[in-house]
Amino acid sequence: MTYIQLINAVLTRLREDTIDASQVDSDPYFRSIGAQVNDAKDRVEDAWQWSALRGSDLVRMDTPSAEAVLGSAFALPDSADNHYIIKGFYGSNDSNPSQYHNVRQISRDLMVQRYASGTSTPSGQPTEVAVNKREVVSGNIQIIVYPVQELTSTDTLIVDRVSHQQTLANAEDRLLVPSLPVYTLATALASRERGEVGGTPTSELFAIADRHLSDAIAQDSSLYPDELDWYSAGGDWVNTNVKNA
């Protein structure tokens, strides 16, 4: 659904007149409904790592971070949002882009030891990566790789990640996550000043929205059954979903 369709879905349930695209930002009440829609969108996005929000970002090894202070540091694009979840790292090369290799994520302390163990910076395709910090200027996540080619390298680091969709602002902006839990939750949020909608109390509206969200998660999670399997790690019988830890 588009942003205007979501707003109208909420307005209809609040027994209000619907609006057209030109009215989205024309009235404080409509802006309030739009804010409730975006708040609901954020809550739904936080509830599960949705298939629609998964993707990959490319980090070129010839574009180091301007704030690098340790080893070979790079900034992850568009990762300033706190809802940026790293799923894994892979490496590839322009000369053979169809082939990938795993890049193991390690702790920052271990990465410091990697660079402190030698007298010169090693070179080669990255095999290990660590999250360093958030950059001061951009707010993006900074990573450190080991080792790394010279700055003219054609190597690319592929970041498998989940991240939120940008805030809906334009009437035709299309929602990526399931729409039903979003507009039902937005209706519950918007109804708090009234106490009810069509005889349904606000508490029940939240319960309805939660049921819709649970159903949507169940359907989307079926695409990734292996992520819901649990394995023991390091010989200890503890809950972890990390295979071959």
Check residue 140 and report its DSSP letter: P
- Confidence band, pLDDT 50/70/90 cuts, at residue 230: low
149 C-beta neighbours (distance < 10 Å), count: 17
Which phi and psi (to 5°) does residue 93 adopt? -135, 140
Q: Sort strands 85-93 and 155-162 into parallel, antiparallel or unpaired.
A: antiparallel
- Confidence band, pLDDT 50/70/90 cuts, at residue 100: confident
Query: What is the signed CA dihedral for 128, 111, 160, 169, rounded to 10 degrees?
Result: -150
Domains of the chain, by residue range, sit at 3-50+177-228, 54-162
Is 65 strand, coil or helix? Answer: coil
Specify the pLDDT at position 185. Answer: 97
Q: Is the pLDDT assigned to residue 91 strictly greater than 90? A: no
Q: What pLDDT digit, counting tens, does each position of 183-216 carry?
A: 999 999 999 877 667 778 888 999 999 999 999 9
Q: Is the pLDDT assigned to residue 71 strictly greater than 90? A: no
Q: What pLDDT digit, counting tens, does each position of 130-189 carry?
A: 999 898 888 999 998 888 765 455 678 899 999 999 999 999 999 999 999 999 999 999
Least confident segment among 10-19, 35-44, 62-71, 207-216: 62-71
Mean pLDDT over 223-231 rounds to 76
* Angstrom distance (rounded) from CA 59 to CA 158: 6
